[in-house]
Each structure stands twice: as structure tokens, then as C-alpha cells.
Amino acid sequence: MEERMNSTKNSLAVIFLFLFAWSALSAHANQAPYSGSAGGDLVAWQLPSLPRTGVYVDGVEISLQGGTLTLSWAPVLESGCYKVYSSADPEGPFSLDDSGTLGEGSWTTQVTEERRFYYVSTDLAYVEGGTFNNGSANVTLSGFYLHKHEVTQGLYEQVMGTNPSQNFGVGPDYPVYLVYWGKAVEFCNRYSLGQSLDPCYSYSTYGTDPDAWPAGWYSTANHTNLSCDWEANGYRLPTDMEWEYAARGGKLSQGFTYSGSDTIGDVAWYSGNAGNLTHPVGTKDPNELGIYDLSGNVAELCWDVWGSLPGEDQTDPHGPSTGDYRVLRNGGRTSPESQCEVTYRTFLGPSSSSGSIGFRVCRRAPKVPQPVFDPPSGAYGLAQSVNITCANPAAVIRYTTNGSEPTAESPVWDPPHVISGNLTVKAKAYLNGMEPSQTATAVYRFNNPVFIAGGTFNNGTSNVTLSSFYLWRFELTQSEYEAVTGTNPASAMFGIGPNLPVYNVNWMEALAFCNRRSILEGLTPCYSYLSYGTDPDDWPYDACVWPENHTNFSCNWNASGYRLPTEAEWEFAARGGNASQGYIYSGSDTIGDVAWYSGNTSFLHDIGGKSPNELGLCDMSGNVTELCWDIHADYPAGPQTDPHGPSTGVYRIRRGGLYESYADYCRVFHRSWCSPALRTYGFGFRVCRKTLAP
């Protein structure tokens, strides 16, 4: 059937092809305007002001190889749902072009003339989800597809093998009528099965195949034995509220009295102009969504059992579960103007039919696949280049970072973003003609400084008062260590990974790391080796090798650079500082909530995999044990302020459990020590600074 052309505008693009010569091998699409080069290039452009009507496919691309023309697009529906129309004149008329072959999101034909214009259309109009007021309450609907025409006699006969229509307009392009509600349901299932779709309707325990339903299933007494699978992808009748929302124009509604106009004769066949006959579908103007005849021609059956509209707000309502009648919408060939308004509702017995009653079908809209973050949520030592992708490459991904839900107006995630600070990203994928995806959320945490306000605690022997300092949230990662030193000392036996804690670093090498990082960032290094200064490149080659060298290091406690925490600083922070709840482990009395230890693992884990303590510090009770500045000795008696430990001794302090430690060794007050030259698995460190000022 030839498509009518009128002044109705549609938000979807129309793609036209203009051929100057058969030698052209390049193509351009979706550019307005576009001028091809001389010598026979293929030129394509959009003409958004061209009078047109219907439901058009957006984003069509054009290519020409030799004499083969291909139109391609991102498919949302099955290939059989698409049609290609063409004309030798951009003003039309356009007619169905059956010269080509439809594929999955493509149409291919052999070019046979010098000048031709094309567009791709579908009989199913996408009705984007939204909210409207039905006069009683607000109704929120998910997106769906509604057929742009009432079911025709030709389609009905093709599916059902018979045409019940007679006397009031007969022909393949006329709407079917004299169909009762049960037969409309049967049509939907047979139409779905014929297109290898999942039928929506089941009768009692007899399944979805109408051939298996018992005799008399369609009687008035049995109509509530039919149930609908709302997640099935097959055809079904629209619900009462879906019908009204679409008739109003959905999100594009202009608030017309009739579907598409305030002038009924422009959009409807009704008692004032129909001559008591039905008319071929689509011969009046469509509404804002490109859907025809929603105010006249034949009244249309809906799914819902009849009842008064509820007074409370609803989401995707399906109507009452019991009742004697089904909802009927739309005016017909004999209806007065008042019965053609988009708000008009009435009802019909499920076994009744009329020469003025037909139906149209709808389908649920597929949902865009949920976006995927790469890398995923997690704790990271270094900045990450984050990409978000969707299994449907045509989808547009929109995102927020302020905790709100993404919308179609949110920024587009393109290209990858570099994230270096703690951030929560929410993403949703959009594609025209599909329901937006579920929201995907990724939480990125980085090894950044946590302010530890000064305070006083009791270490079991005496009160210790500390000045404020900054301690890093996580243990130092292998990627952070390698970024500064150029090497990763980890081994395959015990775990290699960018977000695993670094290990196989001795105490003196930890000091060298602190100074190197300070120098790289323009900070004043804290550590000096004898008279050799603060640059590890100037230290003797064996400065970090022999255990007896450890007392040759001194610390400038007022320097701005990185250093190891003192034992007292480490314990104060592990206890939760001034926010301490007095937990046995760092952040909990339940060790498994906050630590990797012998009771829940046998290997090293990425940083931040357990809950933080009161200050937001992670892994202080288990993963790797952590090196501190102090030389080991018994605690001195009496109050202390900012203690740095003794000046002589053989061993250096380490605190916190490692992944194979027993629970007792993971307590916040447990003390351990090691040789300053010891490199081994399970021994790492975290850094601190006195100030964040340079």
C-alpha cells in the first residue's frame, strides 16, 4: 500500500539516497546537508522539513559496492518488522520497495536507475514510557510498541485463515471487524507463533497454543481463565492505559481532544464522515507518534477487565482480575464526536462482536542491555581509565556522578574517563525504540589520604597523645610501588596484581620508596641516610641491604613528604582515632567483616575488599602485616606525646595481621616485629604524611 505524505513531522530521521553515477563507491549518511565531490560520488542527506508521515527508523546508513546498495541500521525488532519505501521523487509518492532483501538490520538491492530516494519504516510505533493523568490518577507506563494501524482484514485472514468482516467495507486494507475479544486474543498468539515469538496469552493450564485450548474456552464465563505473560515478546492487546497514553501522543502529546488533532475530521472516520462504512487503514492523519485511526474507523478491544479507574497512582496497570466485560476504546464508523475523544471509555462482553469493533496489537519494548564498567567497581592504587560499554553497540550511555539516576538528558560517557578520586558512577544505556537499560553502578575508591585528628589513647601501658596526621586509606599497592620504583617485587607464588598490596619489600626499601615518591611529587623527603642526604640514588649501594644499617636512617618529622607511620600512629588509627568504638579488630568485633586472615582465606587479596574502620581505613587487621618506623622495645611507662620509639635496637615494628594470621594476631593492640632487612610474602606497608601542604 502506498504511503501517504502529509505535513506531520516525526522525530525520527528519513534517509534519502541520490545517485549521480554508477561508478560511485563511497557513501555518506545522516549529514544535513552534504555535498558529494564531482565525478560521480554517492550523496545522501536528511531532509527533516520534508512532509512525511509514518514511523521511521533513525540512524540508517548507506553504502554502495559496485551496483549493490545496502541500507543498514541498528535492529531493535525482527527483520520482518521493517519495510523499505522508495520513490523517484523526494516529494513522493513513496511505495513499498520489494526489490531488495531484508537482513538483520539491513536491506540490500541492486541499483537499476540513476535517481532514487529511500526510507526505512516499521509498522510498530515505539511508545516511550512516561507518566500521564487519566483524570483519576497519575499512571506511569513502561515503553511498548503499538501497531500503527488497526489489524487489517488481510492480516487477520493471513493469520487466522478467515475474514469475518462483511457489509461495512471489505478489502485487505480495511480494518477487520465482527471479531470478539477471545478471537483477538487467539489472533495475537497465532501471530506470535507464526513469527517465532513467545506468545503472551495462556488459557488455564492448557498453555499458549490455541490449538490445545478446550472447546468453549472463549465463552463469557471463561474469559478470566486467560492470563498474560507481560514479559513475553509476542503480540498482545494493549492495556486500557497503554491505549489511552498512545492515543494522547505519549511523551509527544500536544493535548489534542482527538488522537492527533482538535479537528476530528483530520484524524478519524466517524459518524460525520464515514458514510456508515469502515475505510482503509491509514487514510487519515496520524497522531504525534505516527499512529493512525486512534479516534475512529473501528472501536478497539483492550486487555483489561472493565472497572472504574482507581483513584491512586499506578504503574503499568493491567486492570481488575474479575468482571464480566472487557474495555473498549476508540470511536468507530457510527460514533458521534464525543465517543472519539482520547478519554472515552466503554465496555463489551468478551463474546460479543460488532461491525464497528476491531482491534490493534502491541508488544513490549525490549530493554537495552545493562552497561558494563571496565574496570569494575573496586579499590585502586592508581588512577584508572574507565570505559563503559553496552552489548548493543548502537546504544548511547549516559551517566551521573552526583548520586542521581541517569536520564536521557544526562551527559554521554564518551570517550573513556580517567578517575583518580573516590567516585560513584551511575550509567544507563539508551537506544531509540528500546526501553532504557537498568542502571549500572560502579563505586571507585582510591588509595588517598585520610585525615587523622590528633588525640589521646591508652596503649595498655600509658596514655599516648598524638598530633594530627594523614594516613593512606589502603595498604600500598603493587602498581603504586612500581610506578615509583619501576619494579614490582611480588612473585607469582604469592600473587601479582596491580591492586594487590606490595610485599617482598624490607623496612629500609620502604623508606627509600617514601623518599622517591616525595621527590617525584616535589615534597621534602623525610628520611636521610647518615650524611648522604635524602635522595636514595646518593645512598651507598648496600644501604638497604644489611640489617645493621637500619639505625643509620633518621627522620625529619617536620618534612612534608611520605613516611611510615609510627607504631603509636598506626595503633591510634587502627582503633578508629577519636571516633573509636573500642572494637577488638580495626572496625569490628567480628574479624571476618574487616580482615583477611587464616579463618577466611589462604591467599592475598586486592585492597579494600573488607569493610573499613571508623575512619574509613581498610585492611588494618588483616591482608598484609604493615611495617612501622619504630624500633622494637617494651612500652615506656608514663604519658607520652608523639613518641617515635627507641633509638637503638635490632628489630623494627610491624602491626596488623596478614592473610594467614590467627585472629589473635589481628587485634588492634597486638605487636609484632621483624628484621629490617627481611623481605617476605605477607609483609607490606602503608604511608602517611604530617601535612598535605607541599
In this structure, the strands spanning 314-315 and 138-141 are parallel
Domains 127-364 and 450-689 share a fold: yes
Confidence check: pLDDT of 134 > 60:
yes
The predicted pLDDT at position 3 comes to 34
Task: Report the alpha-carbon distance of residue 491 to residue 503 in Å, rounded.
Answer: 9
Backbone CA torsion sign across 626, 630, 632, 636: negative
Closest CA to 271 of 334, 357, 316: 334
The predicted pLDDT at position 539 comes to 98
Superfamily of domain 372-446 in the CATH hierarchy: Immunoglobulins (2.60.40.10)
The predicted pLDDT at position 92 comes to 80
pTM of structure? 0.78
Question: In this structure, are residues 318 and 139 in contact, taking their beta carbons and an 8 Å threshold?
Answer: no
Task: Report the alpha-carbon distance of residue 44 to residue 36 in Å, rounded.
Answer: 8
601 or 216, greater pLDDT: 601
Q: For 130-136, which contacts have Cβ atoms below 8 Å and span 24 or more sequence positions?
A: 130/245, 130/250, 130/251, 132/244, 132/245, 132/248, 132/253, 134/241, 134/244, 134/309, 134/343, 135/309, 135/343, 136/309, 136/310, 136/311
Which residue intervals of 582-692 are DSSP H helices?
591-594
Task: Report the alpha-carbon distance of residue 470 to residue 523 in Å, rounded.
Answer: 15
pLDDT above 90 covers a percentage of the chain that reads 81
What is the amino acid identity at position 414?
Answer: D
Question: In this structure, are residues 618 and 473 in contact, taking their beta carbons and an 8 Å threshold?
Answer: yes
The predicted pLDDT at position 5 comes to 29
The residues spanned by each domain of the chain are: 15-122, 127-364, 372-446, 450-689
Closest CA to 330 of 317, 346, 315, 319: 346
The predicted pLDDT at position 56 comes to 75
DSSP state of 464: E
Task: Report the alpha-carbon distance of residue 326 to residue 348 in Å, rounded.
Answer: 5
85 or 264, greater pLDDT: 264
**Torsion-angle region of 226 (φ positive above 0: left; ψ -120 to 50: alpha; else: beta):** beta
What is the chain's alpha carbon radius of gyration, rounded to the nearest angstrom?
37
Closest CA to 635 of 589, 566, 576: 566
pLDDT tens-digit series, residues 477-503: 999 999 999 999 999 999 999 999 999
Give the lowest-confidence range in 12-26, 232-246, 327-341, 532-546.
Answer: 12-26
Percentages helix, strand, coil for the chain, rounded to the nearest 5? 15, 25, 60
Beta-carbon contacts of residue 533 (< 8 Å; ≥ 6 apart)? none
What number of H helices and E strands is found in the chain?
8, 40
Confidence check: pLDDT of 529 > 80:
yes
Question: In this structure, are residues 573 and 472 in contact, taking their beta carbons and an 8 Å threshold?
Answer: no
Its CATH class, for the domain covering 450-689, is alpha beta
DSSP calls for 31-95 = -SS--PPTTT-EEEEE-TTS---S-B-SS-EEEEETTEEEEE----S-GGGEEEEEESSTT--BE
Confidence check: pLDDT of 30 > 50:
no
Is the CATH number of domain 15-122 3.30.70?
no
Q: What value does the mean pLDDT take over residues 581-600?
A: 98
Give the lowest-confidence range in 99-103, 162-166, 262-266, 341-345.
Answer: 99-103
Confidence check: pLDDT of 575 > 90:
yes
Task: Report the alpha-carbon distance of residue 570 to residue 574 in Å, rounded.
Answer: 6
The predicted pLDDT at position 617 comes to 98
422 or 111, greater pLDDT: 422
The predicted pLDDT at position 559 comes to 97
Task: Report the alpha-carbon distance of residue 568 to residue 571 in Å, rounded.
Answer: 5
Confidence check: pLDDT of 2 > 80:
no
The three-class DSSP label of residue 479 is helix
DSSP state of 197: P
The predicted pLDDT at position 255 comes to 97
Instruction: List, in sequence order, every beta strand (DSSP E) within 583-681.
Output: 625-631, 640-641, 652-655, 671-674
The predicted pLDDT at position 29 comes to 27
The predicted pLDDT at position 38 comes to 23
Q: What is the mean pLDDT of the chain?
A: 90
Task: Report the alpha-carbon distance of residue 528 to residue 485 in Å, rounded.
Answer: 18
**Confidence bin at 13 (pLDDT 50/70/90):** very low
Task: Report the alpha-carbon distance of residue 474 to residue 619 in Å, rounded.
Answer: 7
Burial class (CB in 10 A: 0-12, 13-18, 19+), 154: middle
Task: Report the alpha-carbon distance of residue 137 to residue 582 in Å, rounded.
Answer: 53
pLDDT tens-digit series, residues 163-202: 999 999 999 999 999 999 999 999 999 999 999 999 999 9
The predicted pLDDT at position 659 comes to 97
Tallying the residues shown for the chain, one arrives at 694
Triad 470, 472, 473: Cα angle to 5°: 125
* CATH match for 127-364 among 3.40.50.720, 1.10.1760.20, 3.60.20.10, 3.90.1580.10: 3.90.1580.10
Task: Report the alpha-carbon distance of residue 99 to residue 694 in Å, rounded.
Answer: 73
The predicted pLDDT at position 422 comes to 93
| CA 524 to chain CA mean position, Å | 45
Cell numbers linked to 25: 563507491
Cell numbers linked to 457: 589513647
Confidence check: pLDDT of 31 > 70:
no
Closest CA to 389 of 404, 399, 379, 403: 399
In this structure, the strands spanning 553-555 and 449-452 are unpaired
